[in-house]
Chains A and B, each alone.
Chain A
C-alpha cells in the first residue's frame, strides 16, 4: 500500500514537471498551426482549429528561413567534423604517442577551458575582420575548429580501450597512423558520436558570434535570423512561431536520435578526471 502511494506521488510530481517543461514548446508548435485570428484570440486557444500549413509557407516567403537553416547546418556540420578530426588527433597523441613536453602541453589544453569567451571575443572579431572574413563561412567556422573539452573527452575514452589489443597491433608492425585509423577510431565510435551530437547542438545554438560576424541576410544563421523575425513580424505570432518551429525541428530530431549517446557519454570525459 505504502509502495503504491509512493509511486503515485512520483508520477504526479513527474507529470506536473513534464507539463511545465513541455508547455512552452507545446505552445510554440500548436500556435504555429493556428490562423492569425486564433493565435491572437483572447482568452488564448489551447488547440488550433485546423492544421494551417500555409503559415510555414508564408514564413518561408517572408524571411529566407530555408537559407538560414542551410547556413546553420553547414556551419554546425563542418565545425562538428573539424572538431572530431582535430580532437581525435590530439587525444591520440596525448594517449598513445610519447613525446617531449606531453604533460605540459596537456595541462595547457586543459587551461584553455578556463579562458572565457568574453576575453577573446573582441580580439577575435578584430582578427576575423582584418582577414576580410566578416559575412563568410570561414569567419563562422574556423575559430571553433579545435576543442579542448572534446580532446579531454576523447582522451579519457581512448585510455579506457583494452591495452592488450593495442600492444598486439604494435608488435605486428602497425604504425601510429594505421593504429589510429584502423583500431582506435573504429573502437571509439560511441565517444565520437557523443562529441558529435554535443558539438553539433552547441554550434547550432551559437548566438553572440554569428550576431557579430554576419551582417547580410545571405550569411545569417537561423538563431540570428529568427530573432530578427521577432522584431519585423511581431504582429502575427502564428508566423513568428511557425519560424520558431522550423528552427527548432532539426535539433529536436537530433536530440531524439542521439539522446542515448549524450546521457551515456557526456560524464565519461567530464567527470572522471
Chain B
C-alpha cells in the first residue's frame, strides 16, 4: 500500500486524486466513529427516554389535570392542583414530617458511621470481622429490616419493652404513640442505612495515603487531634457525598413507613412520598400525586444546590 502510494505520488494529478480519496476515507472513518458512539449509547438513551424523560414530561402533563376514580384524565385544571397543595395544611404537615425525619436520620447515621469507620480503619486485630459486621445492614432489605423491628417493637411481647422493663423503665408503645412513632421509624432507618454509609466512609478513609499519618505521628499529634485536624479534612469529599445521598434518600423514604406505620398515628409519620403513594395509588388521584412529586423534586433540587453552594467550598479536594 505504502509503496503504491509512493509510486502514485510521483504523478502530480494522481496525488491529488489520492489525497481527495484519503480525505473522503478519513471522513468516512470519522462518520463511522460518530455512528459507533451513538450505537454504544443507544440502549441507555432509549431506556432513559422511555422510563425517565418521557415520564418527567408526562408528570408535568398529569399535574395540570384531574383524574377520575379509575385514574383516567378527566379535565384540565391548570395550576389548581398546585394551588390546592400550597394552600392546605396537609402538604405542609407532610413536608414538616419529612424534614423532621431527615434531621433525625441523616446527621446521626453519618456521625455513627464515621466514628465506626475511623475506629475500624486500623491494623488492630479482628478489624476485618468488625468491618463485615458494620457493613452488614446494606444486605438487609427494607422489608426484612422493617418486619424484624416490627416484632422487636411489639408493645406487649416485643423484646425491646422487655429490655426496658429489665432496666426498670415502663414499656413504650413504639409505633402507636404519636410522640414515639417517628423516632422509632427513624431508629430503624439509621440502622438500615448504616451499612451503606459505613462502606462509603471506610473506603474514603482507605484512600488516604498512609505516609500522611506517619508524619503526624512524628509531630507528636494524638489520635483525636490527628482525626479532627488531618483525617476529617481529607475525607471531607466522601462525607459530603454521603450527606447529599443521605438527604436525598431520606426525602424518598417509603418502605419502612408503608410496613411499620402506614403514615400514622395521626399522620405523625406521613412523609411526602407516603402521601404521594396514598393520593396516587390508593385514591387514584394521579393529578395531585404528580403535582406533589414535582414540588418534592423542586425541594430536593433546591436542597442539593444549597448544599453544594454552602458546603462544597469547605470540602477539601486533594
Chain A positions near chain B (C-beta within 8 angstroms): 6-7, 10-11, 13-14, 17-18, 21-22, 24-25, 27-28, 40, 42-44, 85-87, 89-90, 92-94, 97-100, 102, 105, 109, 112, 114-127, 142-143, 145-148, 151, 176, 201, 204-205, 207-208, 211-212, 223-224, 226-227, 229-230, 237, 240-241, 244, 247-248, 251-252, 254-256, 259, 262-267, 270-271
CB of A255 within 8 A of CB of B152, answer: no
B142 touches A151 (CB 8 A): no
A121–B296 Cα distance when bound, in Å, is: 13
Nearest-CB residue, chain B, relative to A90: B44
State the total of A-B contacts with C-beta under 8 angstroms.
Answer: 258
Interface size bracket, B side: 35 or more
Distance A13 CA – B204 CA, assembled complex (angstroms): 21
**Known pairs A119-B294, A147-B44 / 17 extra A-B pairs, C-beta < 8 Å:** A11-B124, A17-B134, A25-B148, A44-B162, A89-B43, A94-B41, A118-B273, A119-B59, A120-B56, A123-B62, A125-B281, A142-B51, A146-B43, A146-B51, A207-B141, A244-B144, A262-B138
| Min CB gap A143→B, angstroms | 4
Binding site for A on B (CB under 8 A): 33-38, 40-41, 43-48, 50-52, 54-56, 58-59, 62, 71, 112, 115-116, 119-120, 122, 124, 130-152, 157, 159, 162, 191, 194, 199-200, 202-204, 206-207, 223, 237-238, 241, 248, 251-252, 254-255, 258-259, 272-273, 276-277, 280-281, 286, 289-290, 293-294, 296-297, 300-301, 304
State in angstroms the CA–CA spacing of A59 and B48 once bound together. 40
> B143, A224: Cβ atoms under 8 Å?
yes
Task: Give the CA-CA distance A127 to B199 in the complex, in Å.
Answer: 36
Contact B59 A241 (CB under 8 A): no
Say yes or no: A24 contacts B191, CB within 8 Å.
Answer: yes
Residues of B near A120 (CB, < 8 A) are: 51-52, 55-56, 59
Closest to A129 in B: B71
Closest Cβ of chain B to A257, distance in Å, is: 11
* Chain B residues closer than 8 Å to A208, beta-carbon distance: 254-255, 258, 277
Expressed in whole angstroms, the Cα–Cα distance for A44 and B161 within the complex equals: 11
Complex A-B: 6 CB contacts under 8 Å = A93-B41, A99-B36, A116-B251, A146-B47, A230-B147, A267-B200
Which residues on the A side are within 8 Å of B248 (C-beta)?
Answer: 116
> A21: which B residues are within 8 A, CB to CB?
133-134, 136-137, 191, 194
A207 & B255 in contact (Cβ 8 Å cutoff): yes
Check if B40 sits within 8 Å of A90, measured CB to CB: yes
Contacts of B251 in A (CB 8 A): 116
Chain A contacts for B41, CB-based, 8 A: 89-90, 93-94, 105
